[in-house]
């Protein structure tokens, strides 16, 4: 992995290298022993497990701090409001946004992208305009654009990838032209692990006056994120994929763009004043946060961000790269196994197929042997088609995974081959 | 292999997965329907030729996991020569054995070879694999055009 972002001071704190056994103790679920045997959780691209500080922050909120935020005149509500806004500031610092107002709390990356498509997309796109995405997008970065294209008469253009799963930058550059208004691309592929060159994509897109929306759901758990260095206009995050709670995520948006965007949903908290003759909308981020937000979730996400800062994303990434290299070489050594996604720059995602074994049969057999992986199309059907497979098996790593767990995966694949061989 | 796993992937099932019976298409006139479980990537097409009320010929093609392929292969063997209503009754029994606790003992007697799939009951997420072909068969017999799914 080449560092594409400058190192922030927050990234170099923490121990010199990652001590995996120490890290594992932070995650209560990892000591689970179903049937008295160890359990290898290798489905981290679906959701990550939660460290104690995240569970603790949410628990503490509901036990001692719960009140609705904003406009409460009593102390408990004031404290809840402060905690919620502090959480926003923590996320802001974690992703390198220039001000807290650029962080909108949402349910997850899916809602973040839908927000941009509905608000920015619908107000910006005209018939004949173009939205450019890539073959490796998750359905959540395909369908919202299809919907807004259908509503506006804009066209969806797809940038291809090569057989290794690397984005074809020449083709992407050729696709982006004066009609392109939005380029929506994933930072990291959930199936292939490919890291896309966001900075270069932003340069090309901005030259043509197009905004860049980055799906960062799979990048944030693996890489240091710095939206200022990337230069993107929007960046979407899911809390539960970066060791935080479910039901919370964040959308980063450049303030000057957010300021001009119409609301996404209407309701309480997103207005300045309401009368039946008309309503004045609040400024960002409140304009985009209608209704009571997931306050405990925001606090949990802030705790996750603090935790990741303590671990140091640079150390986490370095450890994961070693683990990925080990996993890649072990899997490559199994006859009949083919890894899908071998781009030079990738994170710890190992998608593979095993000759004569359907990924679902493999998933069932691995589960019986205490290895949790995912089997299916991973919400990326066009990508499955690109590689000519109906589904893949996918082992996705986190910094709490170990070489022993990779060994357990490889052993269990061996058992499956025995059954079907 | 653990006991449960052995029950799921019995030799009969592996055999029908490796060498599916009645795989292919039927020439006209046939009833035909497609089944698809896109989340797992299972896809099949069922072809049926009726002689009056009797299923004279049945075939399937497609790709899927061992359970869905074996289930389709075993189904074609089981329903061939049966009337449409007999096949329907068989499906109901089969469904019960896969989904209901305790339904096993009485149902398995009447199911014959299909009973080898009863191990699927231990794996609720795989029931959809074992029943896709049957739902497609029913759609074919009812001449429904939509692609059926069990997801």
pLDDT at A3 over 50: no
Q: For residue A304, which of A100, A52, A98 has the smallest C-alpha distance?
A: A52
The model carries a pTM of 0.93
Tell whether B64 lies on the interface with A, counting CB pairs under 8 A.
yes
Question: Which chain A positions have a beta carbon within 8 Å of B40's beta carbon?
Answer: 359-360, 375-376, 390-391
Distance from CA of B82 to the nearest CA of A (A): 31
Domain boundaries, chain B: 3-141
Beta bridge partners of B36: B43
Q: In chain B, which residue ranges form alpha helices assigned H by DSSP?
A: 3-8, 11-18, 66-79, 84-99, 104-111, 127-141
Beta bridge partners of A351: A340, A394
pLDDT at B106 over 80: no
- Rounded Cα–Cα distance for residues A201 and B99 (Å): 51
Instruction: State the span(s) of chain A assigned CATH 3.40.640.10.
Output: 54-309
- The shortest CB-CB distance from B123 to any of A359, A364, A375 is to A364
Cα angle B89, B91, B97; round to 5 = 105
- The two tokens of residue B32 are 């035909």
Tell whether B15 lies on the interface with A, counting CB pairs under 8 A.
no
CB contact set of A49 (below 8 Å; sequence gap of 6+): A27, A29, A30, A41, A243, A398, A400
Residue B29: band (very low, low, confident or very high) from pLDDT cuts 50, 70, 90: confident
DSSP string, A352-364: EEETTB-HHHHHH
- What is the interface pTM, i.e. ipTM, of the complex? 0.88
Question: Which one has a higher pLDDT value, A133 or B1?
Answer: A133
B100-124: b or e for each residue (b if 16 or more CB lie within 10 Å)? eeebbeebeeebeebbbbbbbbebe
> What average pLDDT score do residues B100-107 get?
66
Beta bridge partners of A252: A103, A235
pLDDT score recorded for residue A6? 46
Q: What is the pLDDT of residues A12-63, one digit of tens each?
A: 444 468 999 999 999 999 998 877 888 999 999 999 999 999 999 999 999 9
pLDDT score recorded for residue B38? 84
- Which class would CATH give B3-141? alpha beta
A9-49+311-420: which CATH number, 3.60.15.10, 3.30.300.130, 3.20.20.70, 3.90.1150.10?
A: 3.90.1150.10
Residues, chain A: 421
Residue A72: band (very low, low, confident or very high) from pLDDT cuts 50, 70, 90: confident
- Rounded Cα–Cα distance for residues A23 and B139 (Å): 53
CATH 3.20.20.450 correct for A54-309: no
CB contact set of B117 (below 8 Å; sequence gap of 6+): B13, B67, B70, B71, B74, B94, B97, B98, B130
> What average pLDDT score do residues B28-53 get?
91
On whether the CB atoms of residues A211 and A185 are closer than 8 A, the answer is no
**Contact between chains at B1 and A375 (C-beta distance less than 8 A):** no
- Dihedral in degrees, nearest 10, Cα atoms A51, A56, A57, A61: 150
**Contact between chains at B66 and A420 (C-beta distance less than 8 A):** yes
- The shortest CB-CB distance from A361 to any of B38, B43, B65 is to B65
Nearest residue of chain A to residue B64 (CA atoms):
A358
- The shortest CB-CB distance from A358 to any of B38, B65, B123 is to B65
- The two tokens of residue B117 are 């799939």
**Contact between chains at B66 and A381 (C-beta distance less than 8 A):** no
- Rounded Cα–Cα distance for residues A200 and B72 (Å): 50
Q: For residue A155, which of A118, A129, A181 has the smallest C-alpha distance?
A: A129
> What average pLDDT score do residues B109-132 get?
90
pLDDT at A294 over 70: yes
Question: Which chain A positions have a beta carbon within 8 Å of B43's beta carbon?
Answer: 390
Instruction: State the span(s) of chain A assigned CATH 3.90.1150.10.
Output: 9-49+311-420
- Rounded Cα–Cα distance for residues A287 and A27 (Å): 36
Question: Which chain B positions have a beta carbon within 8 Å of A420's beta carbon?
Answer: 14, 66
Residues of A taking part in catalysis: 379
Distance from CA of B90 to the nearest CA of A (A): 26
Phi-psi region of A388 (alpha: psi -120 to 50; beta: other; left: phi over 0): left
């Amino acid at each position: 992995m080449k560092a594409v972002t400058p190192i922030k001071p927050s990234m170099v704190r923490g121990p010199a290298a990652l001590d995996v056994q120490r890290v594992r103790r932070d995650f209560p679920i990892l000591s689970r022993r179903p049937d008295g045997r160890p359990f290898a959780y290798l489905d981290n691209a679906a959701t990550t497990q939660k460290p104690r500080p995240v569970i603790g922050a949410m628990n503490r909120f509901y036990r001692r701090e719960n009140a609705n935020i904003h406009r409460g005149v009593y102390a408990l509500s004031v404290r809840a409001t402060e905690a919620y806004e502090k959480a926003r500031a923590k996320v802001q610092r974690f992703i390198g946004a220039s001000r807290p107002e650029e962080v909108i709390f949402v349910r997850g990356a899916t809602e973040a992208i839908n927000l941009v498509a509905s608000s920015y997309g619908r107000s910006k796109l005209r018939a004949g305009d173009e939205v450019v995405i890539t073959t490796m997008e998750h359905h959540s970065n395909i369908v919202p654009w299809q919907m807004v294209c259908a509503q506006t008469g804009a066209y969806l253009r797809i940038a291809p990838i090569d057989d290794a799963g690397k984005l074809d930058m020449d083709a992407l550059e050729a696709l982006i032209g004066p009609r392109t208004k939005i380029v929506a691309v994933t930072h990291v592929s959930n199936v292939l692990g490919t890291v896309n060159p966001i900075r270069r994509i932003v340069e090309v897109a901005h030259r043509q006056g197009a905004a860049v929306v980055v799906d960062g759901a799979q990048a944030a758990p693996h890489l240091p994120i710095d939206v200022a260095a990337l230069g993107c206009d929007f960046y979407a995050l899911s809390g539960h994929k970066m060791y935080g709670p479910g039901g919370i995520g964040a959308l980063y948006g450049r303030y000057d763009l957010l300021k001009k965007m119409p609301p996404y949903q209407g309701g309480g908290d997103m207005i300045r004043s309401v009368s039946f003759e008309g309503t004045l909308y609040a400024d960002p981020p409140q304009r985009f946060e209608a209704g009571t937000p997931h306050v405990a979730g925001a606090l949990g996400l802030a705790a996750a961000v603090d935790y990741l800062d303590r671990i140091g994303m640079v150390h986490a990434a370095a450890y994961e790269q070693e683990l990925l290299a080990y996993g890649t070489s072990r899997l490559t050594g199994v006859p009949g196994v083919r890894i899908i996604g071998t781009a030079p720059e990738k994170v710890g995602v190992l998608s593979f197929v095993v000759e004569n074994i359907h990924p679902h049969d493999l998933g069932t057999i691995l589960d019986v042997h205490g290895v949790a992986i995912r089997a299916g199309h991973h919400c990326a059907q066009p990508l499955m088609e690109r590689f000519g497979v109906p589904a893949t098996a996918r082992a996705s790593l986190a910094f709490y995974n170990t070489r022993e767990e990779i060994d357990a995966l490889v052993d269990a694949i061996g058992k499956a081959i025995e059954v079907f061989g | 292999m653990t006991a449960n796993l052995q029950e799921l992937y019995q030799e009969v099932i592996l055999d029908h997965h490796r060498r599916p019976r009645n795989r292919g298409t039927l020439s006209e006139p046939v009833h035909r329907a497609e089944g698809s479980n896109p989340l797992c990537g299972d896809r099949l097409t069922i072809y049926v030729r009726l002689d009056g009320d009797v299923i004279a010929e049945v075939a399937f093609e497609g790709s899927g996991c061992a359970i869905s392929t074996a289930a389709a292969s075993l189904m074609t063997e089981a329903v061939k020569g049966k009337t449409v209503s007999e096949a329907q009754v068989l499906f109901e029994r089969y469904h019960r054995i896969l989904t209901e606790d305790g339904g096993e003992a009485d149902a398995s007697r009447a199911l014959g070879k299909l009973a080898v799939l009863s191990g699927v009951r231990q794996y609720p997420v795989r029931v959809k694999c074992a029943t896709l072909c049957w739902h497609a068969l029913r759609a074919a017999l009812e001449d429904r055009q939509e692609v059926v799914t069990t997801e």
